[in-house]
Amino acid sequence: MVLSGFVSDMRRSGNGLPLLVCVIGALRCAFSVNAPMLIGFRFLLGILVGTASFVTPLYISEVSPVKVRGGLVSFNGSPSPAASSSLLPGAALAIGMLSVPPHPALAHGTTTHRRGAPCAATAARLRPRRRHRPRDGHTTQASKKEDSTRVRDLLSPKIRPLMIIGLGLACASCFVGINTVIYDAPTIVADTGLTNSSSITQTVFVGITSVVFTVVAELLLDRVGRRKLLLTGTVRMLLSLILLDIYFSSSMLQNQAGYLALLALLIYIASFAIGLGPVFWLMISEIYPVEIRSKATSVSTLGNWAANFLVAATFLSLGNIITRQGTFFLYAAIAVLAFVFDLAKVPETKDRKLEQIQDDLSISDDQPTKETA
């Protein structure tokens, strides 16, 4: 994951490489003859998911106009390849990536003409109404230093607060329990007293709700703002988790009002799809300075997938140890902490260019570089 941050410094290559892995991995999964072979190539497909899950929104954020950046980034979804079914979309995306130009942020100060010239051409094509030139030294100085940045630079005093925001959102988006709802929705709904077939049918509504409110988020992120959607969405998630906790704590409600659990799940899914879900991926593609953006984003994404694994691995065990209602109470408590964190730390980036966001967060490099010192 972190290594993919170095690959993504070339932006287009960072997208094309994992898609090629998807095609190869899907073919090998389809023709696997035993479980170890299948698991091994599923691991390769996992590389695709881990890399594309942050490289794609990163690229979209950097090339999108300010007014629609939030909607375009949230329109992106992380791929979930499954055996041979991922072959055709993976191949189509790999071919399509051949037409995706190098990123214009690398147009100035690149170490080689081979990279600089195509990037400059991209900048001119994406922004034909203005002459592409360095602004306030941001892009020029950043791109000169991009090749020399290291992971340990993420711990510098100016970058560390941003890493806290990125990793905080990464963990919060999983620790509120969203993946347990997605993975175990049929089990949760079945516990309301519905039959297995009925619970699976009801789970379809969970998926539909996620899709619908993801579209709603795309329409609102650039109008309402990231911060407001994040805060209100977290509050609604908290209330729905409390409702689930109350439901599973009351045998009367379980016997007479099974619909409450489904209602709470739908509110929960809708609140995540319009708040923490898209805002996390959008925010980590906006707040980091360009010279360390890919590496910082890869570390934040690694934190998200690690938290995802931890929550998925402990949900059933937690249910046995502290009961189902206790688990939802724990997630509700984490939602309270997430709200406090978001309120205190997460900035508003709506209607701001990426360079302006760096200025707003006081992270622009105002020290002379070696070339100008």
Quote the CA–CA distance of 141 and 148 in Å, as a whole number.
12
Quote the CA–CA distance of 134 and 212 in Å, as a whole number.
40
pLDDT of 235-273, one tens digit each?
999 999 999 889 888 888 888 887 888 888 889 999 999
Domains of the chain: 2-149 (1.20.1250.20), 160-359 (1.20.1250.20)
pLDDT at residue 122 in the model? 55
Q: Under a CB-based contact definition with an 8 Å cutoff, are residues 229 and 217 in contact?
A: yes
Q: With helix as H, strand as E and coil as C, how does 28-95 read?
A: HHHCCCCHHHHHHHHHHHHHHHHHHHHHHHHHHHHHCCHHHHHHHHHHCCCCCCCHHHHHHHHHHHHH
Q: To the nearest whole percent, how much of the chain has pLDDT over 70?
A: 62
- For residue 302, pLDDT over 50 is answered with yes
Tell me the pLDDT of the chain averaged across its residues: 75
Query: How large is the average pLDDT for residues 218-225?
Result: 91
Could you tell me the pLDDT band of residue 292, with boundaries at 50, 70 and 90?
A: confident
Highest mean pLDDT: which of 14-18, 278-282, 353-357? 278-282
Q: How far is CA 192 from CA 182, 267, 325, in A?
A: 16, 17, 13
Query: How large is the average pLDDT for residues 348-368?
Result: 74
pTM of the model: 0.75
pLDDT at residue 267 in the model? 93
C-alpha Rg value of the chain to the nearest Å: 22
Could you tell me the pLDDT band of residue 22, with boundaries at 50, 70 and 90?
A: low
Query: How large is the average pLDDT for residues 22-49?
Result: 70
Least confident of 29-38, 48-57, 72-81, 141-150: 141-150
Quote the CA–CA distance of 100 and 245 in Å, as a whole number.
48
Identify the residue with better confidence: 45 or 325: 325
Q: In the numeric block, which tokens belong to residue 372?
A: 């100008």
